[in-house]
Amino acid sequence: MLAMARKTIVNQVITLFLFFSFFCVVPLNLVAGNHTSSSTDKDHGKKEEPNIGKMIMEHVTDSYEWHFFSVGEHHVSLSLPVILYDQGHWMVFSSSRLEHGQASYKGYYVADGGPNIGKLVRKDADGKEVPPQLDISITKTVFAIFLDALLVIIIFLSIAKSYRKRKGQAPKGLQSFMEPLVLFIRDDVAKDSIGEEKYERYLPYLMTLFFFILFSNLVGIFPFFPGGANVTGNIAVTGIMALFTFVITTVSGNKHYWKDIFNTPGVPWWLKFPIPLMPFVEVMGIFTKPFVLMVRLFANMVSGHIVLAGFISLIFIFGKFGVGMAYGVSVFSIAFAIFLDLLEVLIAFIQAYVFVLLSALYFGMATEVPNHH
């Protein structure tokens, strides 16, 4: 039995390796063909090398289309609507007008570098790149948010329907997978951090937050549509979630919470009134807590995508020495990519848990009532 188990594990590892080799290396080589010109440079007689840094930045930044794959010069992608307000009027058009960033539409084009990389800009009278006054386009990240939210809604509506049909029975199928996660957030996060008397009013928000972050992280790991979008690796997304936590914490704060901020107990009086050091530190803490929430999730998710893209890019870097070298390096690159992807699955759960746990702790501190003996 032990030998059979070992054989099964080996077969699964080989199958996983072949899957990544075919579905990651082959499409990425096709994509690389779009960045590498086959024409010869007239001045140096060398082939144009792929811009690895640009490829990685295009992978982690937002875009106005959902690119699937490229075959030579032909791109297969989903064009998304562009909605701009600039110079006193609105403009709505399809991102296909931009021809995958190679063309402009009414003077607007996708910046190829600098601080506006990946964003629509236009040139002013001085020749400087100027972004539009308002850009509310349905970008890849926005579209992925809609898909992830729809996925959460569909899953939990189906689970709720199953609970109604199977009332009093043991969970089955998707219920048995989701129920431990729901109970974990309720009992080990909300109750322990906020308290049994007050946790229920915050539980819907914490549940929504946890499963949205979790599904966004997991779907983002999958390299094909509807996966591949770096939702939680976008600081605007993590910033909005941190802002919600900040607003709920501030509104929920009771008189003891605000009293402890401006008159911290256990601190020498001269650090509170003549020299208001502690009140200053506590007030700064009100804003640094959500800031840490925002940056932690963003940095962890975007760094994972960058490192993964870096491993895959080794294939193209060594590919300039020959096709054999590229495929030789691809064995190690894909092996590291598989390991990193499995690690990303664990990180997806950990980051969702940490974000929700810290939010619950902030709610608990804001509503805590001290016990007087």
Q: What is the pLDDT of residues 86-126, one digit of tens each?
A: 888 999 999 888 887 788 888 888 887 777 778 888 888 88
Q: How far is CA 351 from CA 214, 298, 354, in A?
A: 8, 10, 5
Give yes or no for residue 182 having a pLDDT over 70.
yes
Phi, psi dihedral angles at 138 (to 5 degrees): -85, 85
pLDDT band at residue 215 using 50, 70 and 90 as cut-offs: very high
| 322 torsion bin: left (phi>0), alpha (psi -120 to 50), beta (else) | left
Give long-range contacts, CB 8 A cutoff, 24+ apart: 338-341. 338/16, 338/17, 338/20, 340/304, 340/307, 340/308, 340/311, 341/20, 341/221, 341/308
User: What pLDDT was estimated at residue 106?
Assistant: 87
Q: How confident is the model at residue 361 (pLDDT cuts 50, 70, 90)?
A: very high
Q: What is the mean pLDDT of residues 42-53?
A: 54
Average pLDDT taken over every residue of the chain? 79
pLDDT tens-digit map of 255-306: 888 887 777 777 676 666 666 777 788 888 889 999 999 999 999 988 888 8
Residue 232: closest CA among 356, 292, 145? 145
With beta carbons less than 8 A apart as the criterion, state whether 155 and 218 touch: no
Q: Could you report the per-residue pLDDT of 150-176, keeping only the tens digit for each?
A: 999 999 999 888 888 888 788 788 888
Residue type at 93 in one-letter notation: F
Residue 285: φ, ψ to 5°: -65, -30
* Amino acid, single-letter form, for residue 129: E
For residue 201, pLDDT beyond 80 = yes
Residue 51 has pLDDT above 80, yes or no: no
Q: Which residues, in sequence order, are bridge partners of residue 92? A: 83
* Rounded CA separation 123/154 (Å): 44
pLDDT at position 321: 76
pLDDT given for residue 352 in this prediction: 94
pTM reported for the whole predicted model: 0.79
Residue that wins the pLDDT comparison between 76 and 32: 76
Residue reference for tokens 């530190």: 281
Residue 371: pLDDT over 70: no
Band of residue 48 on the pLDDT scale cut at 50, 70, 90: low
